[in-house]
Amino acid sequence: MTNLLLEGTGAGSGWIIYVVLLVLVVAMLIVPMITQKKRNKEYGEMVESLNTGDEIRTIGGIMGKIVRINKENGMPKSVVIETGLENSKATLEFDVSCIAYVYSTTTAAEKVAQQEKNAETTEEVATVEEVKKPEKTKNAKK
């Protein structure tokens, strides 16, 4: 038995090497494109599923909880996260592309409770503003 790839005496033996090289080059070009497309799809799904209250880690290693999501054209553009210890919390704003990993997501029940809490807060602010408005108009008449 002789190895056809090593045997160079035949007239048709050179084409086998070219076919093998062509298949390898095509595989080296196509496989990374397919895996990158899959990663991009998974990342897009993660970004779309972001909610306030989710705990995340940025590509720089900063960990925190999402406080607010700024959207542009219906898609998340940036997130404001709260990080730090109880006594020294800080809020930072990051582009969505800086999010590396989502550690915990809020459940549907937690989302509803948070929306109700936000609604109560806005109602309280509206009530305070309504109380302040008549005082301003009384002062303006005097």
- Domain extent listing, the chain: 1-48, 51-104, 106-136
Q: In the CATH scheme, what architecture does the domain 51-104 have?
A: Roll (2.30)
C-alpha span between 44 and 42 (Å, rounded): 5
- From the CB of residue 56, how many other CB atoms can be counted at a distance below 10 Å? 23
Ramachandran region, residue 61 (left: φ > 0; alpha: ψ -120 to 50; beta: rest): left
- The model's pTM is 0.53
pLDDT for the residue 116: 73
pLDDT for the residue 34: 93
Whether pLDDT at 89 is above 60: yes
pLDDT for the residue 142: 47
C-alpha span between 24 and 79 (Å, rounded): 43
Cross-strand pairs, 51: none
